């Protein structure tokens, strides 16, 4: 065995995740790099070579490279002109950041985000927010300003820091925010959000669907106050805003979706993998009681020490 063979053998031992064959003609497009990094939680993206274990699926960044025979393929498509190529027709998943491609391809398309959702963010509906405020003795309808350098709670001089920011976004009736990062943070918590046109355009948010847009500080404030007093409108915006973050701005989620669509979810060999994946899809936190109850339900059915 030569040096190359020995390295390959070590690679086999090291690889415990399924292999994703990477088909890259030159450099992978920059937009795909965060996705490739996120995919390493689910698989080992490797360029096919001697000694590299057989791949379970393939990801190609160039339609002209063709489709590998017998492997589910995810293909990066930069523009609609690439859709006519054979690989694009055969691909299980079409990866893109082009709205036209998305519309053309339908269910096979997967948007490739380049950012992560804020860690620990969970959607909270207006109804639960109102109960959170009641439990903590906070005012009934709170509008939080996140349109300066710091996030401020009404009638409090000091800016909020660390966990206080998450708490504020969880309890607020609505938020006025400017700037992509701040708006995405607000939307990730399912908060009814008001912003300006430039920010909404940058994050591809639609007025009246994901958030509200106003052009002056006064009108933004007024819209936010109206939303804080209208549970139905706030709930619709909050939920759609959260989905926008998940579908367009969370590369970790996109990687999980892609791995599932390509059949790469390693845990599927474990007996509870299916239910665990379902819980994840529903947004269930790691410490949710239902996870413990599910484990209890099957504990007596599995050997001690076996994987959940």
Binding footprint of another protein on the chain (CB under 8 A): 122-128, 131-132, 134-135, 231-232, 234-240, 274-275, 278-279, 281-285, 288-290, 293-294
Contact 41, 251 (CB under 8 A): no
Closest approach of Cβ 73 to another protein, in Å? 22
Alpha helix ranges (H) inside 172-228? 180-188, 197-202, 217-228
Residue number with CB closer to another protein (7 or 236): 236
Minimum CB–partner distance for residue 170 and another protein (Å): 9
User: Helix, strand or coil for residue 74?
Assistant: strand
Q: Which is nearer to another protein, 76 or 189 (CB)?
A: 189
Of the pair 5, 274, the CB lying nearest another protein is at 274
Query: Which structure tokens are listed for 56?
Result: 């379970």
**Shortest separation between residue 276's beta carbon and another protein, angstroms:** 11
Shortest Cβ 136–another protein spacing (Å): 9
- Distance in Å, CB of 243 to another protein, minimum: 8
Instruction: Give Cβ neighbours of residue 65 (< 8 Å, ≥ 6 apart).
Output: 23, 25, 87
Q: Closest Cα partner for 262 from 65, 42, 25, 24?
A: 42
Tell me whether residue 37 or residue 128 sits nearer to another protein (CB atom).
Answer: 128
| Residue from 58, 59, 61, 75 nearest 28 by CA | 61
CA gap 166, 186 in Å, rounded: 9
Q: Looking at beta carbons only, is 154 or 283 nearer to another protein?
A: 283
β-partners of residue 212 are: 194
Please state the closest distance from residue 233 (CB atom) to another protein, in A. Answer: 9
Q: Return the number of the residue (84 or 232) whose C-beta is nearest another protein.
A: 232
C-alpha–C-alpha distance, residues 133 and 154, integer Å: 14
């Amino acid at each position: 065995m030569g040096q190359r063979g020995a390295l390959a053998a070590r690679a086999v031992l090291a690889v415990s995740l399924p292999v994703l064959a990477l088909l890259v003609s030159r450099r992978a497009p920059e937009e795909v790099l965060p996705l490739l990094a996120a995919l390493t939680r689910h698989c080992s993206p490797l360029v096919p070579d001697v000694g590299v274990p057989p791949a379970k699926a393939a990801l190609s960044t160039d339609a002209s490279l063709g489709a590998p025979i017998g492997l589910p393929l995810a293909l990066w498509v930069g523009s609609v002109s690439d859709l006519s190529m054979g690989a694009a027709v055969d691909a299980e998943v079409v990866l893109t950041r082009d709205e036209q491609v998305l519309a053309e391809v339908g269910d096979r398309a997967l948007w490739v985000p380049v950012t992560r959702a804020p860690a620990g963010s969970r959607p909270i509906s207006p109804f639960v927010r109102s109960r959170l405020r009641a439990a903590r003795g906070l005012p009934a309808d709170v509008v939080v300003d996140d349109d300066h350098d710091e996030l401020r709670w009404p009638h409090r001089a000091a800016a909020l820091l660390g966990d206080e920011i998450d708490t504020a976004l969880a309890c607020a009736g609505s938020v006025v925010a400017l700037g992509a990062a701040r708006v995405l943070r607000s939307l990730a918590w399912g908060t009814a959000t008001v912003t300006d046109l430039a920010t909404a355009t940058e994050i591809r948010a639609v007025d009246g669907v994901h958030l509200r847009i106003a052009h002056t500080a006064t009108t933004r404030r007024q819209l936010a106050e109206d939303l804080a007093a209208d549970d139905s409108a706030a709930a619709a915006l909050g939920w759609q805003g959260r989905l926008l973050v998940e579908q367009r701005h969370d590369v970790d989620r996109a990687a999980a979706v892609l791995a599932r669509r390509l059949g790469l979810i390693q845990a599927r060999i474990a007996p509870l993998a299916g239910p665990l994946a379902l819980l994840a899809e529903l947004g269930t936190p790691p410490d949710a009681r239902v996870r413990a109850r599910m484990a209890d339900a099957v504990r007596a059915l599995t050997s001690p020490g076996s994987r959940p």
